Amino acid sequence: MLEQAETILKTYFGYPSFRSGQRQTMEHIMEKKNTLAVMPTGGGKSLCYQIPGMAMDGTAIIISPLISLMKDQVDALEALGIPATYINSSLTGDEQNKRLKAIEAGEYQFVYAAPERFESAAFLSVMKRIPIAFAAFDEAHCISQWGHDFRPSYRSIVNSLEQIPDIPAIIALTATATEDVIADIQTLLNIHDDHVVKTGFERDNLSFHVVKGKNKQTYIRSFMNEHRHESGIIYTATRKQADALADQLERWGMAAAKYHAGLTEDERKTAQSAFIHDEKTVMVATNAFGMGIDKSNVRFIIHYAMPMTMEAYYQEAGRAGRDGEHSDCILLFSPQDVQLQKFLIEQSPMDDAAKQSDYRKLQAMMNYCHTQSCLTSYILDYFGDVSNREGCNRCSNCEHRQERVDITEEAQMILSCVKRMGERFGITMTAKVLKGSGDSRLRRFRLDTLSTYGLLSAYTEKQLGERIQFLVAEQFLATADGKYPTLQLNENSVDVLKGKQTVWMYTAPIPVSEDADYR
Ligand code: ADP
């Protein structure tokens, strides 16, 4: 059967060989095992179910939360001569009935269905009567409450599927690779460890950059001037930011499309189409844009503000360079971004445990912005991929590696200050003590009597804050979870204090923004 899969790959899709993980995934599916495929964005997940769907008897049901994508995928299959259809709320009642009848008559090899279809008795009753090859969950992380895009309605499909007696296998596909999400999907869909296929997460045509301490607008203006004819996406944190930045680009004479949930469906469609067809080279958007957009020549993704999690970041950044050509993923960091994300966590109706989990993810995202280790390695580590340890030689940190200085002594001063403060305070207060600030709160806690008070007074509080953030990001210091994380020593801190470990830092020029704020 695998030979058949290979023939289909070559004759229908025109590709000479499988990509990493595709063969194994197809093998499990064709043996009718419940299967989970975890591959980065652009890794080729669609073929993993399309080829088995063509090779196997019965109709393949593809469940996708992305209505906009269904039509594209169906069109693409039909262009290859493969009978496929979709059924979702964008169709009239008549059209839905017509398609249901044709599905029942076995006319389609593929049926793409939106989640809400599984609440329809008519749809479920047809599903119960037809021979099914398998059911595939695209963007499967949406069923996990640990995922960054949990959709309760998506999760409830699991129960509906149980009402359909003869589904030979269920396939889940996602680009989210964190352990808790994977475990959750496995439990919900009854997937054995042996049938989880995880490919390496490295995208070696992507260069990651973190930019700190620069005026974001100035940066974008000069970047865009240098990349005028390249296609790219600028992600903003809010709709307001997207509106303002798109206007600004227009004023600078650059043609930008914009996309966010505050626009009408028509406006969004027009913007998306202008971008996909290269009529507008740049898209300014919130995270509402992009899931399922298959535009191969996106040369850069700029994050105008830091997202809340590494999962969200890597998924959005991963939309660059699907064609395998070199592309840049740039994150513009400012401390206010952290405040916004904390605010969003506080405002959310989640319980305390879920909030703590979000704060942990946010801390990992902040550490990405403050680490001076290889950014690619940091990402791969985060997703549990241990293949790269040397450094990628193309991220902004690797580029600066030669210019590092030994800051062990300074680190020892900071760490001993944290210790003397009883490990009960956060970054702001620690920076104030080291600076020797006259702040009244500091006197109230008698922190001005410590021997480390004013020990690094030659630095500004902002610079000290950056140094401490760096020590946290490099795991020379730990933080407690929560809104106001207190600093704590860990094993690495002890090694540094004992002089057993050297601390290297790229320090010049010190990237501190004017409006730094570590509260
Ligand atoms: P994902 O869903 O994982 O983000 P897609 O399924 O959209 O990725 O695939 C990304 C691109 O890679 C598509 O243009 C697809 O045609 C192409 N692709 C998939 N498999 C292969 C392969 N074996 N060889 C070459 N290109 C492939």
Residue-wise pLDDT tens digits, 333-351: 998 899 989 998 999 888 8
Q: Hey, what are 362's tokens?
A: 């946010």
Task: From the CA of 318, give the closest atom in ligand 1.
Answer: 4
Q: Hey, what are 507's tokens?
A: 């320090």
Task: From the CA of 43, give the closest atom in ligand 1.
Answer: 3
Residue length of the chain: 519
Q: Which helix (H) or strand (E) covers residue 258, if one does?
A: strand 256-259
pLDDT of amino acid 43 = 81
The pLDDT of 41-45, averaged and rounded, is 83
Residue-wise pLDDT tens digits, 371-385: 988 999 999 888 877
Among 121-135, 160-174, 384-398, where is mean pLDDT lowest?
384-398
Residue-wise pLDDT tens digits, 235-259: 999 999 999 999 999 999 888 999 9
141-159 burial, b at 16+ Cβ within 10 Å, e below that, comes to bbbbebbbbbbeebbebee
Mean per-residue pLDDT over the chain, rounded = 89
Residue 363 DSSP SS3:
helix
Distance 381 CA to ligand 1 centre (A): 24
ipTM above 0.90, yes or no: yes
Give the CA angle between residues 500, 505, 508 to the nearest 5°. 150
Q: Hey, what are 112's tokens?
A: 């793409």
Q: Where are the alpha helices (DSSP H) in 12-134?
A: 22-30, 45-55, 67-79, 93-104, 121-129
Beta bridge partners of 207: 328
Distance between CA atoms of 110 and 120, rounded to whole angstroms?
19
Is the CB of 73 within 6 Å of ligand 1? no
> In whole angstroms, what separates CA 170 from the centre of its chain?
24
Query: Quick one: pLDDT band at residue 511, thresholds 50, 70, 90?
Result: very low
Query: Which of 55-59, 213-217, 479-483 is most confident?
Result: 55-59
Structural contact between residues 279 and 164, judged by C-beta atoms closer than 8 angstroms: no
Q: In what order do the strands lie in the sheet with 256-259?
A: 206-212, 327-333, 298-303, 231-235, 282-285, 256-259
Query: Quick one: pLDDT band at residue 516, thresholds 50, 70, 90?
Result: very low
Q: For a pocket test of ligand 1, which of 13, 293, 325 has the largest count of ligand atoms closer than 8 A to its C-beta?
A: 13
Structural contact between residues 32 and 60, judged by C-beta atoms closer than 8 angstroms: no
Distance between CA atoms of 319 and 288, rounded to whole angstroms?
13
pLDDT of amino acid 507 = 66
pLDDT of amino acid 249 = 94
Q: Whose CA is nearest to atom 19 of ligand 1?
A: 44
The pLDDT of 405-413, averaged and rounded, is 90
Is the CB of 72 within 6 Å of ligand 1? no
pLDDT of amino acid 396 = 92
The 3 state secondary structure assigned to 413-430 is HHHHHHHHCCCCCCHHHH
